[in-house]
Every structure is written in C-alpha cells, then in structure tokens.
Amino acid sequence: MKKLLLVLVAFFLVATNHVNAQKVFKINHFIDSVLTLRYLRGNYDTNYVTRPQTKWTLVGRFNVAGAKIHTIACQNGQSFETELTAEKKATVTIGVSYLGLSLNLSVNPAKMLGKYRDYEIGFRSYGKRFGFDITYQDASNYEGWHETGGVRQSVTTSEDMFRLRTLNVNAYYAFNQRRFSYPAAFAHSYIQRRSAGSFLLAASGQGQHGEVNGGMTEEGVRREKMDFKMTNIALGAGYGYNYVPARSWLIHISLLPTFIVYSKSTISIDDEDVSLHHHFPEGIITARSAFVKQIGSNKFAGLSVVYNYTGTGDKDYLSIRNQKWLARLYFGVRL
C-alpha cells in the first residue's frame, strides 16, 4: 500500500511539473512572438534599412569621456580667465540585446581602485525616429590654468577647491526615418544598406552648478571665490548622413546646432553678484560621428564619438564655454 501511495505521489508531481513546464513554455513563446513582431514591424524602406536576422546581440565597449570648461570674466576693471580640463574617465561596458531590448553594465576600473571620487552616469536611446543622450557628471579633478591681471598660473583642482556638476540633454527627431537610421550607427539594432540622409529637429538642455572655494594657489596667488548656477534650453535643427561606401562599411556624421531660447543664471564672484550678459547667438551644438565595419555575417566593430559644446555670455562681462565628449570603441556579435 505504501509503495502504491509513493507511486501515485510521484506520478502527481511529474504530471504537475509537466503542466507547469508547458505553461512556462507557452508564456515564453507568447512573449517571444510579441517581441519578434514588434522587432520586425516598422515603416522603413528595406532597400536602405534592414533589421538583423538574429535575436541576440552581445557588445563589448571601451569608453573614454572628457570635459572642459573655459570662463572669461571682468569685474571692477580686472579680468579673470580660467580653462580647466577634467580628468578623463575610462570605462568598460558589456551589453546584451534581445530583439531590440538592451541591458548594459559598465565598470570604471580607476574609480573602483579609489583613484578619484568623480562620477558620471549616462542614458542613451537611439531610435529610428526619435532618440536622446542624457549625461550627468559630478567632478572635482581638473587641470588647467588661471589668469588674473595678466598673471597666469597652472591649476590642479581638488575636492576642497572646486566642484562642477553638469547635466546635458540632447534629443533629435529624424524626418527620413524610412531610409536613414541613427540606431544603425550607434545602437546596432538596424543595418544601413545604402547611403541616406535626413533633416533633424533638435532640442538641447544644460544645467550646471560650479563652485570655486577661493583661498590661495601654491604659488601664493589669491584665488577668487566663485559660485554659479545655470540652466539653458535650446531648440534648433540639423542634418545627419549615413554613408555606405561598401557593403560592409557605414560612416555616420550629424550636426545639430540649437539656439538658446531660455536661460536662467545665478552667479557670484567673491560674494558679489555678476550678471551674465546674453547676446545672440548663444547655443548648444551636438555633433555625432561613427564608423562601423561588418565582419562576416554576424560580427561588427567600430568607433563612435558624441561631442557637445555650449557657449553663453559675453567675454566683456562673463563668458562660459563648456565642452563634453564621449568616444566608444566596440566589438559585437549577433547570435
């Protein structure tokens, strides 16, 4: 009797697991079907743009990011000028994509070893119609020079001396998305088969908060105390082009100039408020470029660069120029 009971229990467990396995299989099959339909469906000209025939894409990236700020100020008849370049940040990224849905993990070896406390985070989405870059940087490690009254001194900043927090947002809308593909150059979820270009609408924004804590330089030169907060929103248009010189090559270049339509700033030097005199044109420029090489039927490699420039103010009062760039070297496999 006990043996019969054990057999019945075992049979029940096997049957239950079989039913559960069937349910899981049906759910997975349904999800896969929906994602596949979404992945292949699209209003694009297949003579110019196609989707990869595989479902999975694995990409390894080596990223290098940099930033520079240049300020020119005039206060009580005395000029101040500073140019600072942030310490370059190198990260390694592993990315996996399934039918257009991506997940990425980045590691910064220098930060993990405690060499500096600066950090930068970014969100990027490149669609065939709409896309954007969002980056936030909190940095204190800069090198450059500072000039006061014609005397120039080298500067190396630290956390107790200088801090700059910057948020950059850049978005585009592509009109000719049926033949021109931004993701073919940057996200690799499409393949550009023929050369094509597109006019682009663009929107840009920047928020920035910088603090200089004053004190003296190592050479005994007094350093002014400075605090500034700025918000800029800009609109414009540009053009992008995907050049396919051969079947396995893609060269992308795009330029998106935008003009500042809203600006708000609060600036003080040595606790004295300073006006940021605006003049036309002031703007934010975003430039992107990429080189992609298809290797065989399922591999690719390349290099991409995204560059941002923001210019505001008047050098006879206060001028602030920001540069931000990101270069990525990558290798990918489609499975």
pLDDT per residue over 73-92, tens digit each? 877 777 888 899 998 888 99
**What's the rounded Cα separation, in Å, for the pair 147 and 68?**
16
What is the mean pLDDT of the segment spanning 307-329? Answer: 89
Among 9-13, 67-71, 101-105, 164-168, the range scoring the smallest mean pLDDT is: 9-13
Query: Is the predicted pLDDT of residue 329 greater than 90, yes or no?
Result: yes
> ω into residue 281 within 30 of 0, thus cis?
yes
Residue of 318, 102, 143 whose CA lies nearest to 230:
318
Residue of 208, 191, 160, 169 whose CA lies nearest to 57:
191
Residue of higher predicted confidence among 212 and 25: 212
Top mean pLDDT of 158-162, 234-238, 266-270 is at 234-238
Query: What SS3 state is found at 300?
Result: strand
Which residues, in sequence order, are CB contacts of 287 under 8 Å at separation 6+? 253, 254, 255, 256, 305, 306, 307
What's the confidence (pLDDT) of residue 280?
73
What's the confidence (pLDDT) of residue 178?
93
pLDDT per residue over 168-214, tens digit each? 999 999 999 999 999 999 999 899 999 999 999 999 999 999 888 76
Residue of higher predicted confidence among 152 and 238: 238
In a 13 Å sphere around the CA of 277, the CA atoms on its Cβ side amount to 8
Which residues, in sequence order, are CB contacts of 231 under 8 Å at separation 6+? 205, 206, 207, 208, 262, 263, 264, 265
**What are the backbone angles phi and psi of residue 183, rounded to the nearest 5°?**
-65, -20
Query: Is the predicted pLDDT of residue 2 greater than 80, yes or no?
Result: no
**What's the rounded Cα separation, in Å, for the pair 152 and 219?**
11
What's the confidence (pLDDT) of residue 305?
96
Largest CA distance in the chain: 105
What is the mean pLDDT of the segment spanning 272-280? Answer: 73
| For the chain, domain boundaries | 1-41, 47-334
What's the confidence (pLDDT) of residue 38?
58
Among 16-25, 67-76, 230-239, 325-334, the range scoring the smallest mean pLDDT is: 16-25
What's the confidence (pLDDT) of residue 110?
66
What's the confidence (pLDDT) of residue 220?
54
Which residues, in sequence order, are CB contacts of 269 under 8 Å at separation 6+? 73, 75, 80, 224, 225, 226
What is the mean pLDDT of the segment spanning 40-64? Answer: 88
What's the confidence (pLDDT) of residue 113?
65
On average, the pLDDT of the chain sits at: 84
What's the confidence (pLDDT) of residue 74?
79
Residue of higher predicted confidence among 242 and 103: 242
pLDDT per residue over 108-166, tens digit each? 776 666 666 788 888 888 988 999 999 999 988 899 998 887 788 898 888 778 889 99
Counting residues of the chain whose pLDDT is more than 90, the rounded percentage is: 45
What's the confidence (pLDDT) of residue 266?
83
DSSP 41-106: --S--TTTEE--S-SEEEEEEEEEEEEEEEEEEEETTEEEEEEEEEPPEEEEEEEEEETTEEEEEE
**What's the rounded Cα separation, in Å, for the pair 29 and 137?**
42
**What's the rounded Cα separation, in Å, for the pair 45 and 56?**
23
CATH number of 47-334: 2.40.128
Which residues share a beta bridge with 322? 69, 310
**What's the rounded Cα separation, in Å, for the pair 65 and 88?**
6
Please report which helix (H) or strand (E) contains residue 134, including its range: strand 130-139
Put simply, whether the predicted model's pTM sits higher than 0.95 gets the answer no
Query: Is the predicted pLDDT of residue 4 greater than 60, yes or no?
Result: no
